Structure 1
């Protein structure tokens, strides 16, 4: 086992005791502990102290704070004592004492940064920053998170050249810093530090002796850069292709690695269900390829097995969609309207006698957003000739950030009304004035209109007959839709 892996597992075992209730601590974990530590008296002492802290927290949380500070004072250089601040911080956060929880994570981070030359502490920094990020937001002290990121990143950069650096926590730091810069509207600076870290990781991965850990760190960085976080909007599309390539390469080099199997499966699922929907035929080939590569790992890897089941459900739903050929020349199927995002009192009858372009889309869909200029142009050109665009989307639990002018998936529960308000803000921001409906959950409208990927356009003539169906974005598709609109408007009612 490499030093990198040993340091990671050593910290992970302590963290497991801190974060996982003793009643569900698996026997398999204890086996790993025994293998790595044998008769580890330090681990036994750690467990005893953690048990005592739990008892203190159950009786009096403030007394538990005093107790832990006293233990730290006795053993200021003990990482085992320091890491107990995770447990205390978590308990305080559960009681909505976010400012007090923040103090515990800040103290722990201060210790970890001071001992950053130890790889165990580098991995610890990653976990601490995740906790600190959450409670700083809840405590309304976002500046504390920015300061923590800056402090830790500088400490990493100040390490002597010969000191080994753990790739994953450093990459996590870079992304956090980049997101902070984007929040300050310093997009170029953010892109610069991300590109520099990616270049370093790509160089490390190109080494024939590169470890599984290094390849996973490369994939993990790209996953962070393509996550639904709104700060990734400026580069997500650019890094999606890089993520797929990195996952494929890593999986090929270490086919028995369960975490690289998971990375590959998760990325394929996102490609199939979100990022590559605009080419249904290519997507079907992607599904077949995913099953070919993952069916064997799925036998022993439960996560991969679950992802393949989700892909199969998606494929069945796509296969249930009406073939495009059966739609053209037929009366357009019924609309299924749960509500309108930016208009009221509108029904399908409101558009009778008009040429209507149904645009199936979503706020998270990059190719959909790429069509917005065309939608604006067509409405400006043909709007006074009996033409209208009607957007069709679904609920995705998105919320609007008015400061950043972005919509992103919410970690909390968003009501249908709130999401329609988010849609209205999104449409206004993108200067889209055509009406947009939201179909109810479980609606079959998309299936009835042959939607297998988005953006998906259905052009309906004045008599209500489907005349054109196109999926995807791009100049050729836009020209075909434009020409058909012009043709249909040239015909008399």
Structure 2
């Protein structure tokens, strides 16, 4: 995020403002206020209404200002986390999207801009308006770009836009329609690849879209798409070896292997060996591509650690849970492992800096409310990270000197953080040298372990999102016989 802010700041501050008066000297011009900087400051101060007015004024007076598109995106992105007051965020986002659609109709080359605005505007419309409005806007945008003219103007912009629309449909519960949008996108890309095989970035865009589509497809269709994507990546690497095809092959296999490594680590391991062998063959047969292929093979080898962890996690299922290792407890009294016999236990390994962890909080609250009286005990597991509580922003932040944060400071921060997010379950803080996370096979968070009434591990689930939540809830209900 800091990198993004730095990039935005450098982009905006570096924008060149062209004034119509030829009599203005360079010195006088440098003294003039930078409108882009002024708008950016309004956004940073969360003065969204004033920022909106300023952006509209810039559109009317300086429509070709280089920083204008960046300002719009930053304004939309800030709305989602800024609790906007005195402004109808959904209506403003809808108006901005409609204006961008109109501009794209007049100039199809602006499809990339339309994709960027839609990517941020649709979530704002859904969050502050309704999912129905977001779907309506998504379909209106889709109807506009579903033409050969738009498709050929910008393959990546077109694909990004359709992916955004599919995401909006899925978030509103229209899963089948979202999957249909992704399949249609792949079909169009495949057709265009046959008609214009030399189009730059088209093969890699197609492969990337195939990989992304896996999260939209039902389980019954996922394996076929995986096989299709790997076949295309392999064919491109063999028939058209180049730096681009090597990158596309590596990204495709890397994403697919990572996606299946948790559930089927044995299969992932075999695919990894195959992918590395293919890259090594390219390195051996073409000296000009040796460095690129070797670097890519080395990159793929990093997945081995995840596969090893997944194998360890798989071996844990049905076995006695490793020992707990609490140093301190927050948001509740201490509880021992023996006291939990007869209960279904959900261990949630998390951290205050982990966005995906925070995204799971609504489910954790829901499960506590629905199942705690039926035999479920939820326990958070975290440790010291050198964070303190910022009273002004009401957020946890990393201390300038993390080593100066005492355990008491960290516990006080956790207490306020947990209360702010209205979590009801207790959390244990493990010692810095604790092996508990390693013993539970934690390689990334959020990481959930569900233990049965006999203290045996019955589920390991990593990550956030609807599919992850559905698997955890299904296992809870199964163990509670609900």
Q: TM-score, normalised by structure 2?
A: 0.53
1:201 aligned onto 2:203: no
| Aligned CA distance change for structure 1 residues 291 and 392 (closer, same or farther; 3 Å) | farther
Q: Which residue of 2 aligns with 1:131?
A: 120
Taking the aligned partners of 2:356 and 2:439, their CA distance within structure 1 comes to: 31
Q: Which residue of 2 aligns with 1:314?
A: 306
1:431-470 equivalent positions in 2, closer than 5 A: none
Alignment gaps of 5+ in structure 2: 15-29, 44-48, 284-288, 384-429, 461-482
Q: Which residue of 2 aligns with 1:217?
A: 205
Q: Greater relative contact order: 1 or 2 (C-alpha under 8 angstroms, separation 6 or more)? A: 1
Q: CA deviation at 1:237?
A: 6.6
Q: CA deviation at 1:114?
A: 3.9
Q: Which residue of 2 aligns with 1:256?
A: 242
CA contact (8 A) 2:279 2:296 kept: yes
Taking the aligned partners of 2:168 and 2:323, their CA distance within structure 1 comes to: 43
Q: Which residue of 1 aligns with 2:111?
A: 122
1:103-122 equivalent positions in 2, closer than 5 A: 103=92, 106-107=95-96, 109-116=98-105, 118-122=107-111
* Mean CA deviation greater in 188-197 or 289-298: 289-298
- Residues 235-266 of structure 1, C-alpha deviations (whole Å, 9 max, x = no match): 267336524642552452654345x6555444
Taking the aligned partners of 1:101 and 1:170, their CA distance within structure 2 comes to: 26
| Secondary structure, aligned partner of 2:152 | coil
CA contact (8 A) 2:207 2:248 kept: yes
Q: CA deviation at 1:121?
A: 1.2
- Residues 202-258 of structure 1, C-alpha deviations (whole Å, 9 max, x = no match): 33345582535322332333343334xxxx3x6267336524642552452654345
* Mean CA deviation greater in 90-99 or 146-155: 90-99
| Aligned CA distance change for structure 1 residues 447 and 19 (closer, same or farther; 3 Å) | closer
CA contact (8 A) 1:85 1:105 kept: no
Q: Which residue of 2 aligns with 1:152?
A: 141
Q: CA deviation at 1:128?
A: 0.9
Q: Which residue of 2 aligns with 1:34?
A: none
Q: Which residue of 2 aligns with 1:414?
A: 358
CA contact (8 A) 1:109 1:125 kept: no
1:242 aligned onto 2:234: no
Alignment gaps of 5+ in structure 1: 1-15, 26-47, 353-387, 399-409, 472-493
Q: TM-score, normalised by structure 1?
A: 0.52
Q: Which residue of 2 aligns with 1:275?
A: 260
CA contact (8 A) 2:347 2:378 kept: yes
CA contact (8 A) 1:255 1:261 kept: yes
| Secondary structure, aligned partner of 1:336 | coil
CA contact (8 A) 1:205 1:214 kept: yes
| Secondary structure, aligned partner of 1:196 | helix
| Aligned CA distance change for structure 1 residues 237 and 311 (closer, same or farther; 3 Å) | farther
CA contact (8 A) 2:344 2:377 kept: yes
Q: Which residue of 2 aligns with 1:56?
A: 38
Taking the aligned partners of 2:68 and 2:122, their CA distance within structure 1 comes to: 18
* Mean CA deviation greater in 57-66 or 129-138: 57-66
Taking the aligned partners of 1:323 and 1:238, their CA distance within structure 2 comes to: 24
- Residues 277-320 of structure 1, C-alpha deviations (whole Å, 9 max, x = no match): 3444333223333444557689559995895464244356568x
Taking the aligned partners of 2:435 and 2:304, their CA distance within structure 1 comes to: 18
1:285 pairs, out of 243, 265, 270, with 270
Q: Which residue of 1 aligns with 2:71?
A: 87
| Secondary structure, aligned partner of 1:73 | helix
The number of equivalent residue pairs is 368
| Aligned CA distance change for structure 1 residues 257 and 314 (closer, same or farther; 3 Å) | same
CA root-mean-square deviation: 6.1
| Aligned CA distance change for structure 1 residues 118 and 22 (closer, same or farther; 3 Å) | closer
